Chain A
Amino acid sequence: MRFNWDYKYVKMSKWFYTFSIIITLLGILSLSIFGLNYGVDFRSGSNVDVNLTKVVTQEQIQTLLDKKGIGKEVDYTPGKERFGIRFSQVLTDQQVNDFKTSFNKELDPKASFEVNTVDTEMAQELERNAIWAILLASVAIAVYISIRFEWRFAVAAIVSLLHDAFLVISIFSIFRLEVDLTFITAILTIVGFSINDTVVIFDRIRENLRFAKKKSRADLEQVVDHSIAQTMTRSLATVFTVFIASVCLFIFGGESIRMFSLAMVIGLLFGAYSSIFIASPLWVALKGKQKTPTAGGGTVKTAKS
């Protein structure tokens, strides 16, 4: 396996910036119009997942619910083995038990249930905590990178990790995928992976910088392009292994972590993409600005665009 990864990554970056900005805008649009498709963890109500051992249709369940007087405003996620029923009202213990008993009696004697109930106040708190967690993690990571590298690397890394987190949220909003508590966990893990990937490339850039000529912006671009090319095999190999792990969880891992795995799969791809095409060029842009006022700066400005 010998590939030549020498491309002008930084020069290409404007296409990728455009791509990311378009998805970000679509995401903002979708989020402001439709919002997120909140699962039970974030929306007040009850969620009942039934694990079926035989075929039960949605009509049968609806009839049963209507009979119990809890059939209003119910969403269904039908499946062969697992049937999701989402109530917008909070069911009382009694209602839940009543439902379980009659379901077992009338529809499927061996069915087993998973019931989740959450209060609205609690849901809002969970979401608030999640946002705080991401922001606080970003700050902590930025501090660490600023100490180990320099602030420009930190800025570029944080932009790219927020980009990854936001794009996954956008995609979940655009495709109306359900957001539950595990989704938050997935986003936070993506943040961790994204930063991991970015740091590896930055580390190589920093190393190559020591011996590089760094007079003009073109020199910087060359160092970055070269660093990306050198770490490309590693980036691909790592993305592949982690990707395989999440895809396996997605395909074989069961219903309750499916959305988690899907978020992970999407986030990983964005994480690898942004480290190369967003974070690295962004660092060049920041670093290039710094060079402008110093000697030879004049040529830098004309050299670009």
Chain B
Amino acid sequence: MKRILSFIVVVLITTGVMVGTSPGLLNSLKLGLDLKGGFEILYEAQPLEAGQRVTSQSLIQTAQSLERRINALGTTEPEVTTEGSNRIRVRLAGVSNEAEVRSMLKKPAELTFRSATAADAKKPGQYSKIELRGNDFVENGAVVGYNQLNQPEISIKVKDKAKFAEITKRLLNKELAIFLDNDLLSAPTVRGELTDGSASITGNYTREEANKLADTINLGALPLKLTEKYSQSVGATLGQLSLDQTIRAGLIGSIIILVFMIAMFRVPGIIASFCLIVHTWLVLAIFYLGGFVLTLPGIAAFVLGIGMAVDANIITYERIKEEIKSGKTIRSSVIAGSKASFRTVMDANITTIIAAAVMFGLGTGSVRGFALVLIVDIVTSILTNIFFSRFLLNLLVKADAVKKPSYFGVKESDISAL
């Protein structure tokens, strides 16, 4: 009686948690651009001038500046990642002015040092005369150090000493502002005429700000040109359509599987079906908690994963059926069947995880997403459709609630005497 009670309590609590959290879960899942529309571009970065190399630092800098530009356009949740040694992948969901965004992204980030002209004088913070460009600086010449007051200072080197001397002489005690594209980064004042081609910029910088500025100047000395290598763009209505279709396919497939399991294995089949639903919920919960993005191939992997999860139950229940047919009691059949099938199920699942892990390691983009779903799927299916389903079945069996072989889909006539 106690076991029946705990069985009911476990089922009710699990159902309650699932029912209570599912609407929130479904609404807060992150969808990929193939499901809600948007575009994805893979860029290859090359240095603007021949003979220079793309460093990992300049690549990260470029990615960050891309992100700043996208944010400036007010798009929600851009996803900018670097890949390999010279690639940047940009994912943007729900963009209406795609063409504008794309041409904006392709422009190399332009670093300029500017001074104020007479016309700018009326408006503070205006600097319209470009004095120096990114490629006027020595590559990787910007270094952060400390002055006597222990304040961070950035020392820079320019290529053309005479030009720099002329500028600093002309702008003595005036500001020489640093811009990235059209954003003012800093506006230090020139304190003296600098003839040796190097200068140090001091100000009220934190160590972090100083580093960032130095990085930007270094990047400016090595601007990267971006070429589109791959792009995918999905209209919003199309994404919604794909989502609806795939979910419908998943639901129909799942219902057929559940009906089949119950027809074939009766009571254990019902437990398996319940565990499958728990499995689905758990995978969604992991996706939510991990902040993973659900894409179309991901949903496909998910639906297929249901098939895999059900396999664990089929192997176990088939084994239990065999044991019952050989004449053992229900209780010892369940114990023996679960034990004998466990190793098989684990071996089969581990080999599939190995395949999925290789996919994750070598794949990019959608292949990687697919592999990730498959791995999450298999691991949770081990939890739900091996351990949890076994736990539930054991509760029922030990409580003597399922005594007849027909509850397992075994006919009396098939049972041979021991």
Binding site for B on A (CB under 8 A): 1-2, 49, 51, 93-94, 97, 110, 112-119, 121-122, 126, 129, 132-133, 136-137, 140-141, 144-145, 148, 181-182, 184-185, 188-189, 191-193, 195-197, 199-200, 203-204, 207, 230-231, 233-234, 237-238, 240-249, 251-257, 260-261, 264
Contact = CB atoms under 8 A, between A and B. Distances in A.
Closest 4 CB pairs of A and B: A112-B235, A242-B307, A248-B253, A254-B245
Contacts of B364: 126, 129
B350 interface: yes
B322 interface: yes
Interface in B384-409: 409
Contacts of A189: 301, 304, 355, 370, 374
B252 A242 contact: no
B228 A51 contact: no
B297 A257 contact: yes
Contact of B359 (A116, A141, A188): A188
B241 interface: yes
A245 B306 contact: yes
Contact of B348 (A182, A191, A196): A196
B222 interface: no
A144 B351 contact: yes
A188 B355 contact: yes
Contacts of B343: 203
11 contacts: A118-B229, A132-B362, A189-B370, A192-B352, A196-B311, A197-B348, A199-B351, A238-B311, A248-B253, A253-B246, A253-B249
Contacts of B98: 97
By CB atoms of chain A within 10 A, which of B264, B303, B409 has the most? Answer: B303
Contacts of B34: 256
Contacts of B365: 181
Contacts of A129: 362-364
A185 B366 contact: yes
B96 interface: no
A114 B246 contact: no
A62 B194 CA distance: 65
A242 B249 contact: no
A97 B99 contact: yes
A199 B351 CA distance: 8
B235 A256 contact: no
Interface size class of B (residues with CB under 8 A): 35 or more
A97 B364 CA distance: 27
A117 B303 contact: no
B311 A241 contact: yes
B250 A248 contact: yes
B5 interface: no
B257 A264 contact: no
B351 A196 contact: yes
Contacts of B409: 1
Contacts of A257: 242, 246, 296-297, 300
A230 B370 CA distance: 33
Contacts of B347: 148, 199-200, 203
Contacts of A242: 304, 307-308, 310-311
B265 to A, nearest CB: 9
B356 interface: yes
Contacts of A145: 351
Contacts of A207: 340
A200 B246 contact: no
A118 B411 contact: no
Interface of B: 34, 37, 42, 98-99, 102-103, 228-238, 241-242, 245-246, 248-250, 252-254, 256-257, 260-261, 264, 296-297, 300-301, 303-304, 306-308, 310-311, 314-315, 318, 322, 340, 343-344, 347-352, 354-359, 362-367, 370-371, 374, 409, 411, 414
Contacts of B344: 199-200, 203-204
A199 B348 contact: yes
By CB atoms of chain B within 10 A, which of A2, A199, A264 has the most? Answer: A199
Secondary structure of the B contact surface, majority rule: helix
A189 B366 CA distance: 13
B354 A141 contact: yes
B303 A254 contact: no
By CB atoms of chain A within 10 A, which of B99, B248, B365 has the most? Answer: B99
Given A113-B235, A118-B229, A257-B246, A192 B257 contact: no
A260 B297 contact: yes
Contact of B362 (A94, A112, A136): A136
Contacts of B357: 140
A253 B300 contact: yes
A191 B351 CA distance: 10
B260 A241 contact: yes
Contacts of B236: 112
B304 A246 contact: yes
Contacts of A140: 354-355, 357-358
Contact of A141 (B261, B304, B351): B351
Contacts of A256: 34, 242, 296
B96 to A, nearest CB: 12
Nearest to B252: A248
A203 to B, nearest CB: 4
A201 B211 CA distance: 60
Nearest to B233: A115
Contacts of A253: 245-246, 249, 300
A185 B359 contact: yes
Contacts of B230: 116-119, 122
A133 B246 contact: no
B232 A249 contact: no
B231 A115 contact: yes
Contacts of A116: 230-233
Contact of B253 (A119, A126, A233, A249): A249
A90 to B, nearest CB: 9
Contact of A244 (B246, B257, B264, B414): B257
Given A114-B233, A253-B249, A234 B257 contact: no
Given A200-B315, A238-B314, A185 B356 contact: no
B253 A181 contact: no
A39 to B, nearest CB: 12
Contacts of A196: 308, 311, 348-349, 351-352
Contact of A254 (B241, B256, B411): B241
A234 B348 CA distance: 13
B110 to A, nearest CB: 20
